[in-house]
Structure 1
Amino acid sequence: MEPIFLPKTWSLFKKGLLTKNITNDIFAGIIVGIVALPLAIAFAVASGVSPEKGIITAVVAGFIISLLGGSRVQIGGPTGAFIVIVYGILQKYGFDGLIISTIMAGIMLITFGLLRLGSILKFFPHPLIVGFTSGIALVIFSTQIKDAMGLPIDKLPAEFVAKWEIYFHQMQNFNLSAVLITIGTIIITVFSGRLIPKVPGSFIAIIVMTAIVAVFGLQVNTIESVFGSIPNKFAITIPSIHFDQLGQYMQPALTIALLGAIESLLSAVVADGMIGSNHRSNTELIAQGVANIVTPFFGGIPATGAIARTATNVKNNGRTPIAGIIHAVTLLLIMLVFGKWALLIPMPCLAGILIVVSYNMSEMKSFYSILKGHKYDIFILLSTFILTVFVDLTVAIEVGVVLSSLLFMQRMSNLSKVIPLETESDTLENYADIPKGVEIFEISGPFFFAAARRYEETLKDISHTSKVVIIRMRHVPFIDGTGLRNLKATIKDLKSRRIQIILSGVQPEVFEELEKGGVPALIGPNNIVPTFDLALARMGMILQKQA
């Protein structure tokens, strides 16, 4: 059983592996620190707090998450997903309310870890996650129109529709310089990687656009004109706590805790797939909790694992928590030494960076893919998306989870008890004569969101010496969007290891969903067969070709 709390830092230190990759980890940490700088500032500004609070969060939370976390390569800090939540809490409760909510969320996250709820991710189906992620992306985009176009608006309402009403009334008052800076930022951020792959596009955009504004004296808002000076030191912040009012912070705290848990575990799972490792989910939740308890006392905002920065860490050969620690130290040095120059950054430039972030968050391909799937997955996706945009993220998650459970029960109750003859006759239980290099797995029961992760983990543990894997699906009555996504991820992983997959005994309804998801094209239509006998025949042909 996975230990409740065992940081990867400690495990690697005991094995003597913590400094084995230290040169690459230091280099990766510096690169990620540079990547994190414009994002930390942009996320803070978009959330309604001053820029240094984003950097403080990346420094303090990033250090703690790397030091105590359950992932080798997780990078923690402020993320785009929290923009909507933080902005809403500030509007309703003020900065003290945000601090209290974040600390309470940290306590909840530690509790999740101590109760071994690290597997919580599997109870959130893929359409639900895509729904609220895409919804958050749209809301983030909508918050950036003011700065992107230089509109003369003093204060934006939190509601999505109300924002756009104001935008349409003010659209004719746009600032051409601001629009051009935004467009230039987007172009540099997206395309500069082709020319200078080792330097983050957002960092280049900030330098170029800040220089253009300074040299040509363009009349646009800058960080200094909006927020004044940026402190280059840390200060302890103690909120005014009234214990009789703590109940009102339960909902925002739960929202922060749930989103923090989901995003950090998602990021850790993505990282596992990139480096072939396994994170400790309960340890990761506890580390996230500690980070969210400590960071607010330094004036920081909610933090979690950041998928983009974690992926950047991995791509630059970061392999231990040393990289995450160096990333935090790099940001600290930048804040202490170069903080005064950050005042010159134009607000349209930050808006351009966040527009790119919102596009990357939108998961448009996944959204479109789910829309081609089963009606239940489509319903969960659209419900969660609409609630996230027009109501509230907490409501979206709560309703999405309940809907997923109810629709699963409905789907199960509609299943026929009668098993087709050809499926029932597909019964060979003695695998003694199966040749070496062939592995057989059987999936029994619905391939749905609560079981999909377990199936994926089991199948990914297949030996690298295997040549063919037969997956028997005769007792799978249906597959949902999460199951389909995880199956495709497993197939891609096995194919990258030159292992051929054969699906046996696939029922008509399941095959229909596999076809919509492009699985036949992925493994070859000849490798999906109705009976185990045909699977064995196909296996023989494959082994003969490989001989």
Structure 2
Amino acid sequence: MLNFFRQESGSIKNDVLSGLTVALALVPEAIAFAFVAGVSPLIGLYSAFFIGLITAVFGGRPGMISGATGAMAVVVVALVAQHGVEYLFPTVILCGLLQIAIGLGRLGKLIRMVPHPVMLGFVNGLAIVIGMAQLGSFKTLSASGTLEFLGGIRLGLMLALVALTMAIIWLLPKITRAVPASLAAILAVSLISIGINQSNSEGENVLATVGDMLETNTKAAAIAELRQEAEADLVTLASATGTDLVPDTTLVADVQAGTDLETVKAAASAASGTEAILLSETSSGISGGLPRLFFLDYEMVPFNFETLRIILPFAVILCGVGLIESLMTLTLIDEITETRGQGNRECIGQGVANLVCGVFGGMGGCAMIGQSLINVNSGGRGRLSGITAAVCLLLFVLFMAPLIEQIPMAALVGVMFMVVIGTFEWASLKMFRRMPASDMIVMVLVAGYTVFMHDLASAVILGVIVSALVFAWQHATHLGAEVRYNEAGSKIYQIHGPLFFASVSSFKELFDVADDPQDVVIDFYYSRVYDQSGLEAINGLADKYEAAGKRLHLTHLSNECRTLLDRAGDLVEVNVSEDPHYHIATDRLA
């Protein structure tokens, strides 16, 4: 199904229009991830601007979109909650420095070690995660202050507009490619939604918009914060008085009846006995000014070892998560566009972007797979598409916030559902019977971990580790020896298969030191020694034959292996014309 995205060719017009489409889709994503991280929506929007612009200019993959992501937000939420938002910015700066160092060290090429079954599981799991993430757009705030699914006519209208959006994206390219289908669908459905909402005499939007989503999330966050404060106050009071208190029913009633943040704040103040200050109350919209250096608006954290001890673990995790997700996205876009990006340059670009983002008070970010696929599907192939998306996003914040807040969530959900359909590798379902069982297990494992744990980076690492273990196990069983005697009565063991840590035990079982004749030859012409474990096994075997008073000859070993054999080096017969020349990856060589 990835061929679905190959239908467009690159051009300046396509890059500009696809960038505008991506910018519209970036707004709700950036806001949602800001709430996940526990920071203001404007921080998420500014982060998306800086990350998107800088990676578009300096990154290694034209056409790939970066911004504030859920993977990074999940990491920093604990930091913000425990130490405050002031520690977030130096953490993002340190993350950027680490990513730059990895790029300069040319470690981006390690992405080539990801096996194809891991890639399939990653893509399929990602498609499911993107689809499930859209379910939140079908929820609204209930009277009790919790999110619940829509029902009745509101649900019917939203489903109808989602279907209309998907139909436009599917059918329009069959008629014309003058305008990206996703952009046309968003504009058309937005006009219909505005008409429906304005026709409602009750004044409330029947179809949820980006502005409604922001207000709903703000209220939900405020009420959740209020309840946490109330529970903490009740527990403290119970400990002080030695009584068993239950939640204040009056407080709960105030929360349930709350229709705006002022009511919520008043209830919180009543619960705590002091003026309640809610982070959420500052999040009234996406309108804002130009980004400012973080130390102009926030208190500077002390520059000492204690600060480094706090931020370093988070920075390392952010660095790893960001680079894995970005490099996996780069590989996916490479496959779609049939071109090749530069992994090391992307690492440097992501690092510079996070460095600048942290300096200007951002939450950090990395490549966004969903938005990248929207861009590619809309015809965005060059760096101009990413630059356009970032610049348009900043213009939305500065000048067009009221208009952007009128975009219906149904249109954006429809676009993302089409991304899901195009991302999922449907052919992998037909490959189950033809794939080796081990590859099938790896693919399902990676997809399942991605879906249930929502951790793309860990899913890829897990898949690579399992694939490596399966590979080692399979090749450990391929080691054997062909035994024969020459005219002089010497016994010759001709080794077949790789000698490495997993096959060392099998290698040792091939030899009968006690019953072998006085002259023994081990021929490595059809074998390769891959690691230090293999070298130590040869050394150990040489010691056993020497202790038994027997002569051992080792033939057809590589130059590197002969050099690294400590105790058996003088037993090696060198044949320059026949001995193989290959390198052995060992710690000593490194």
> TM-score normalized by structure 1?
0.58
The structural deviation recorded for 1:31 is 0.9
Cα 1:25–1:306 change in 2 (3 A) is: farther
Aligned partner of 1:150 among 116, 127, 140: 140
Q: How does 1:257-268 map to 2 (within 5 A)?
A: 257-268=319-330
| 1:364-423 Cα deviation digits (max 9, x unpaired) | 54466367511222222233333334446254344333222211111111236589xxxx
Aligned counterpart, 1:66: 56
- In the alignment, does 2:158 pair up with 1:182? yes
CA distance in 2, matches of 1:259, 1:207: 39
1:373 aligns with 2:435: yes
3-state SS, counterpart of residue 286 of structure 1: helix
Please tell me whether the aligned partners of residues 43 and 78 of structure 1 are also in contact (alpha carbons under 8 angstroms).
Answer: no
1:135-214 mapped onto 2 (5 Å cutoff): 135-150=125-140, 152=142, 174-193=150-169, 194-195=171-172, 197=177, 198-201=179-182, 203-204=186-187, 205-214=189-198
Residues 51 and 353 (structure 1), Cα distance of their counterparts in 2 relative to 1, 3 Å cut: farther
Given that 1:178 and 1:348 are in contact with CA atoms closer than 8 Å, whether structure 2 keeps it comes out as no
RMSD: 3.9
Aligned-residue offset at 1:211: 4.2
Residue in structure 2 matched with residue 35 of structure 1 by the alignment: 21
Given the superposition, is the C-alpha separation of residues 407 and 283 from structure 1 closer, same or farther in structure 2, using an over 3 Å criterion? same
Sort the Cα spacing of 1:331 and 1:375 in 2 relative to 1 into closer, same or farther, 3 A: same
Partners of 1:274 and 1:386 in 2: CA distance: 23
Residue 70 of structure 1 deviates from its aligned partner by: 2.8
TM superposition shift of 1:128: 2.5
Answering whether residue 474 of structure 2 is matched by residue 411 of structure 1, we say yes
In structure 2, how many angstroms separate the alpha carbons of the residues matched to 1:320 and 1:418?
55
Q: 2:402 aligns with which of 323, 340, 359?
A: 340
* Alignment equivalent of 1:123, drawn from 113, 116, 121: 113
Q: Deviations over 1:503-545 (max 9, x none)?
A: xxxxxxxxxxxxxxxxxxxxxxxxxxxxxxxxxxxxxxxxxxx
Tell me which residue corresponds to 2:463: 400
Distance 2:144 2:467 in 1: 41
Matches within 5 A, 1:91-490: 93-94=80-81, 96=85, 99-150=89-140, 152=142, 174-193=150-169, 194-195=171-172, 197=177, 198-201=179-182, 203-204=186-187, 205-216=189-200, 217-219=204-206, 222-223=212-213, 225-226=215-216, 227=218, 228-236=284-292, 237-238=294-295, 241=301, 244=306, 246-247=308-309, 249-250=311-312, 252-272=314-334, 277-306=339-368, 320-347=382-409, 350-351=412-413, 353-358=415-420, 360-366=422-428, 369=431, 372-391=434-453, 393=455, 394-415=457-478, 417=480
| Higher RCO structure, 1 or 2 (CA under 8 Å, sep 6+) | 2
Select the structure of larger CA radius of gyration: 2
Instruction: State the Cα deviation string for residues 73-109 of structure 1 (Å, max 9, x = none).
Output: 2333237xx3254246426634726545543332232
| 8 Å contact from structure 1 (residues 102, 296) kept in 2 | yes
- Give the 3 Å change call, closer, same or farther, for CA 354–276 of structure 1 in structure 2: closer
What one-letter code is carried by the residue in structure 2 that aligns with 1:115?
G
SS of equivalent to 2:322: helix
What is the identity, as a one-letter code, of the residue corresponding to 1:235? P
Output the TM-score relative to the length of structure 2. 0.55
Task: Give the Å deviation of 1:290.
Answer: 0.8
SS of the residue corresponding to residue 150 of structure 1 reads strand
Change (3 A) 1:284 1:293: same
Gap runs ≥5 in structure 2 = 1-9, 219-283, 483-496, 499-525, 527-590
- Between the aligned partners of 1:315 and 1:388, the Cα distance in structure 2 is 23
Percent of pairs with identical residues: 24
Say which of 64, 67, 73 aligns to 1:75: 64
Separation (CA, whole Å) in 2 of partners of 1:260 and 1:91:
17
CA offset at residue 69 of structure 1?
2.2
> Is the CA contact 1:149–1:175 (under 8 Å) kept in the aligned structure 2?
no
Which secondary structure state, in structure 2, belongs to the residue aligned with residue 231 of structure 1?
A: coil
Amino acid at match of 1:127: P
CA distance in 1, matches of 2:141, 2:193: 19
- 1:299-348 deviation per Cα after TM superposition (whole angstroms, max 9, x unaligned): 54443344565566667776653443344333333443322222334456
